[in-house]
Amino acid sequence: MFYFRILSFSFFLFLIEGSFAQTTQKPVIHGKHWMAITGKPLAATAGATVFQQGGNAVDAACAMLAATATMWDVLSWGGETQALIYNPHTGKVMGVNALGVAPTGATPTFYKSKGFDIPPAYGPLAAVTPGTPGGLFTMLSEYGTMSLAQVLKPAMQMAEGYPMETSTADMIEKNKARIKNWPYSKKIFLPHLNEPREAPEGGEIFVQKDLFQMLSKLVEAESSALKQGKSRKEAIQAAYDRFYRGDIAVEIVRGVQEQGGLITMEDLAKWKVKLEEPVSVNYRGIDVYKLTTWTQGPVMLQALNILENFDLKSMGYNSSRYIHTICQAMHLAFADRDFYYGDPDFSPSEPINGLLSKAYAKERAKSIQYDRNDTLAGPGDPYPFEQKVNPFKSLLEKYKNSHSSIMSEEHREGFFAGTTSIETADEEGWVVSVTPSGGWIPACVAGNTGIGLSQRMQAFVLDAADNPFNVLEPGKRPRVTLTPTLALRNNIPFVSFAVQGGDSQDQNLLQFFLNMVEFEMNVQEACEAPNVNSFQMKSSFDKHLSEPGRLLVNEQTPDWTRRELKKLGYLLEFDRKTSGPINAIYFDHKHGSFWGGSSHFGEDYGIGW
């Protein structure tokens, strides 16, 4: 009896302690005035600094974008920027398209003559035109309140020297053989040439003199315009012009062409940022916004439309039936992505209305087989749902997953790795979700600018049979994986979220959203909760390979769930963390506060006030 009382008392203490214990590895970030979350602590601090100086969420996002690009957080200044911005004064979500384009001379014939089946993954011939500077200038000019000098100040201080993270330093060391192929990259990244370790060490002060000079020129252009009586917007435009048409552009082109690249002065001068309407669907009363088919963003919207036909909550979180259902929906949506998505500014026009039709989704849902994984799940035909005839019916009938293969470790890294995410919000109501990328290590640097070039050309295909909407053409944007997200409930922000990665992005974002909506997790729980990742869709990187049926699940998945998934035909592999590095902000309108979720995957970090 005494023993039982001790056990009972111990259990009571356990319940008390458990009730006060943190249930997630990282706490929810609470804020009343603003929130800044991104992939690196120093970059979050840059956003916090701008907020403390009176900037709005757009100003802070621009400062964080500049900082992450300077820190080489799997992107650089020569990469691309994709953003969604909620404007509280109009109540609308606007898309920012700052993706570079294929340069002059970049044709399928050119790359095939060089022996490529797909444009290369690295080097000057992998580069589209730089987009991140233009995206930053445009966001700041149109929606921000501060000067370019103010938002670039943290990045400029970092360019003068900042302590490099061990993860970035080790990535440089790992890729130093490739970096040595490009003289301007070697000069920046390998300060200890001919020593056993040629890259910086973790914590070493990393100095980028060329980048600092480039950023200084942008601030000088703005300052000069202001002294001439120009407006704030006109002064930021002067910096834009200096980058894309002035002496910075001249050095970019010289450095690119010296190393064998194709970018011309005309390419830079003609390129423009696009402010555009995003696409959206309504899922159980919540409007979910994505950028359109120049990204993979609509794939999540398609999957939500399909899944709306099922009672997911009754299946149970991460049960075998739930996992199978969301995987089948994703496979169908990604198959459409692989065939129908591309730059909507180029002919042929993507059938986006059909792809996002609820009726089309219902038809696709009917094809899901409950007794097995369909490894041959292919694209459907959305054209009848637009009252049109598919102009590529013959290609569609012949379309096969001809690139199916076992991925190498390098291909696997591309499937998951890459980019960062930036989430900001303020008490005025501005909300920003950004997924910038491009120019990651190992990056080919453009002359004496300190600017790492994008590697996004590899997302194109060279043959219409592989995707008639994404065939390489000069001036065209490749279809990218980058996919910020905003969700509104009752026409006001509900949650803003994004994730780093490649083809895993919308897989993880879909499950994060369902975690909150179907299973009522808070934002941090939803960030950390175990997800599954399929390799059945074609990779958007390197050789565009896929592994039908292969599925990554969390190592805590119960034995009975594993057995049932194997019976359905899945080839399972396991990892300790499978949620993806998701960052998010939930809007608590009842209490007038923000709830921030910051991934427990790596170095993601958030600050709120």
Q: What is the pLDDT of residues 238-274, one digit of tens each?
A: 999 999 999 999 999 999 999 999 999 999 999 999 9
pTM of the model: 0.94
What are 324-336's pLDDT values in tens digits?
Answer: 999 999 999 999 9
pLDDT band at 398 (very low <50, low <70, confident <90, very high): confident
- Residue 448 lies inside a defined structural domain of this protein: yes
The domain that holds 62 is classified in CATH as: 3.60.20.40
Count of residues for the chain?
609
Of residues 141 and 544, more confidently modeled = 141
Boundaries of domain holding 76: 33-161+207-297+406-609
- Residue 370 lies inside a defined structural domain of this protein: no
Alpha carbon distance 95, 84 (integer Å): 5
In contact, 73 and 128? CB cutoff 8 Å: no
Q: Is 476 helix (H, G, I), strand (E, B) or coil?
A: coil
What are 208-246's pLDDT values in tens digits?
Answer: 999 999 999 999 999 999 999 999 999 999 999 999 999
- Residue 467 lies inside a defined structural domain of this protein: yes
- Residue 230 lies inside a defined structural domain of this protein: yes
- Residue 607 lies inside a defined structural domain of this protein: yes
Exposure b/e, 435-469, CB count within 10 A at least 16 = b: bbbbbbbbbbbbbbbbbbbbbbbbbbbbeebbbbb
Sheet harboring 92-98: ordered strands across?
274-276, 92-98, 81-87, 431-434, 422-426, 34-38, 605-608
Q: Say how many domains are in the chain.
A: 1
pLDDT band at 5 (very low <50, low <70, confident <90, very high): very low
Rg of the Cα atoms in the chain: 24
- Residue 333 lies inside a defined structural domain of this protein: no
- Residue 212 lies inside a defined structural domain of this protein: yes
- Residue 302 lies inside a defined structural domain of this protein: no
